[in-house]
Amino acid sequence: MLAVSDVASQAEAEALTLLKADNKTGYFGVSLTNPDYLKPYEARVSRGGKVVHLGSFATAKEAALCIARSPEGRAAAAKRAAAAPPAPPLTSEEARQQAEAEGLTLLKSDNKAGYFGVSLDQRLKTKPYMAQVRRGGKQVYLGSFATAEEAALCVARTPEGQAAAKKAAAAPVPLTSVEAQQQAQAEGLTLLKADNKTGYFGVSLTNPDYLKPYEARVSRGGKVVHLGFFATAKEAALCIARSPEGRAAAKKAAAPPPAPPLTSEEARQQAEAEGLTLLKADNKSGYFGVYLVNAGKPKPYEAHVWRGGKQVFLGTFATAEEAALCFARSPEGRAAAAKRAASVPQPRRSEEEGQGNAPARRSRAVLKQEGTVPPMPPGAFVKEEEFPPMPPGAFVKEEVIVKRELEVVVDEGGPSEGSRSEGRPKRRRNA
């Protein structure tokens, strides 16, 4: 193992160059792979399209010396020596001025670097900003830079950067909150309010640190559809309002508010006015098709019907009677009421009404109550007697007996021919 000073002397003696690089180790081809090991630095080169491991070393300079001795290290050193010295890094202001002088646009973007095609890699010390573009379906690395603006200038000079700038120029300018509200009024649209962080229906705050932190999304065909990112919540709400889903939601919200819940008595009166029957049932709610589901809630009762072999939910209600009224209005409720009305037994007809030949005699029933007192004859009087007081705990038991007397009247002239049986008496009798 060579000391750091010995490595520098050895490289000078062999006329080798320890190539510097903008990475954690500071040297080309050298990486810090195992910090806790005795030899944490690894020397690697790309050979024949493959990464070749050259060895592990105790110091970064010793690994750089190994790289410098390899054919790939010598070729890289010769290429760097033949190239013109790189221009000094541009400051942010210098990069903006240069882009303006060349007629280029440094495209803004919602990322950590703030520019299109530029990413921030904090592992790089002096040049943490990388410029990259998509070319032929692949990510192409353009270089590392000291400032984000200089990296954005590099991207802006590429065909991909210029195409992106042209596309961005054709896009509409973002609207402020006031402009979005005015535009919605001009188009006759409603920015639907909602109880969420953004305050608007279909709008969510997804990237607070980005230039366009608000996202507009709708549910379409059972899937969540992304509509775009926006600078303000109102602009995102305007995008939602222009969608078919937003228009439908606004129409639903504009509908008149539902009628206040009916009390139990009001529901009974309404059923009577509509000629409906609130069918009783032996369940917790007391009504057929009504269920007590959420006790303690404002609307604890639910109305359900069976339709096409499936249970269909009709709604929730404050009272069992109101839920029963909803059920009674449904076709299933009307059918159930009609079925129950048909199952009530009808009064039985008397034997005489059931026979083919009507009897010749006439009958009438006289209902008399026992205890009726006739007028007193002349000279009669009522004798009053005194009774001793009743002992404690005694009581008088009263019974009322009702006696039915059937008075049958037989026509003295006799019944019509063929309707009177043989041996029937021709007299008045009590049955």
Helix (H/G/I), strand (E/B), else coil: 2 = coil
The number of CA neighbours under 13 Å toward the Cβ of 142 is 23
- 328 in the same domain as 273: yes
CA distance 423 to 420: 9
- Are both 19 and 71 inside the same structural domain? yes
Per DSSP, 103 falls in state T
Q: What is the largest CA-CA distance in the chain?
A: 169
Say yes or no: 181 and 119 in one domain. no
Q: For residue 93, give the H/E element and its range.
A: helix 92-101
CA–CA separation, 303 and 287 (whole Å): 10
Are 341 and 320 spatial neighbours (Cβ–Cβ below 8 Å)? no
Per-residue model confidence as pLDDT tens for the chain (431 residues): 667 778 888 888 899 989 998 888 999 999 999 889 999 999 999 999 899 999 999 999 999 999 999 999 999 999 888 886 777 889 999 999 999 999 999 998 878 888 999 999 888 778 899 999 999 989 999 989 999 999 999 999 999 999 999 988 887 778 899 999 999 999 999 999 998 999 999 999 988 877 788 999 999 999 999 999 998 999 999 999 999 999 999 998 888 877 788 999 999 999 999 999 999 999 999 999 999 998 888 899 999 999 999 999 999 999 999 999 999 999 999 999 999 988 877 666 554 455 555 454 544 444 444 445 566 667 666 555 555 666 666 665 655 555 554 444 444 445 444 444 444 445 555 54
Verify that 69 and 9 share a domain, yes or no: yes
Q: Where are the beta strands (DSSP E) in 48-128?
A: 50-57, 118-120
Q: Could you say which DSSP state residue 307 is in?
A: E
Say yes or no: 105 and 55 in one domain: no
Q: Are residues 58 and 74 in the same domain?
A: yes
Asked if the structure places residue 377 within a domain, the reply is no
113: left (phi over 0), alpha (psi -120 to 50) or beta: alpha
Do 96 and 165 sit in the same domain of this protein?
yes
Q: Flag whether 35 is in a domain.
A: yes
DSSP string spanning 334-345?
Answer: HHHHHHHHHTSP
In a domain? residue 356:
no
Burial class (CB in 10 A: 0-12, 13-18, 19+), 404: exposed
Give me the domain span that covers residue 223.
Answer: 177-254
Which residue's entry shows tokens 């508010």?
Answer: 257
Q: How many domains does the chain have?
A: 4
Would residue 126 count as lying in a domain?
A: yes
The 3-state DSSP class for residue 138 equals strand
The encoded tokens of residue 419 equal: 């309707």
Quick check: is 107 in a domain? Answer: yes
E strands in 102-222:
118-120, 129-135, 138-145, 203-205, 214-220
| Encoded amino acid at 152, one letter | A
Residue ranges with strand state E in 185-299: 203-205, 214-220, 223-230, 290-292
Is there a domain that residue 153 lies in?
yes
Q: Is residue 360 part of a domain?
A: no
Please check whether residues 278 and 311 belong to one and the same domain. Answer: yes
Q: Are residues 284 and 322 in the same domain?
A: yes
CA dihedral (304, 271, 292, 315) positive or negative: positive
202 and 216 Cβ atoms separated by less than 8 Å: yes
Containing 368, the helix (H) or strand (E) segment is strand 362-369
Strand runs labelled E in 3-65? 30-32, 41-47, 50-57
Residue 347 lies in a domain: no
Whether residue 273 sits in one domain with residue 336: yes
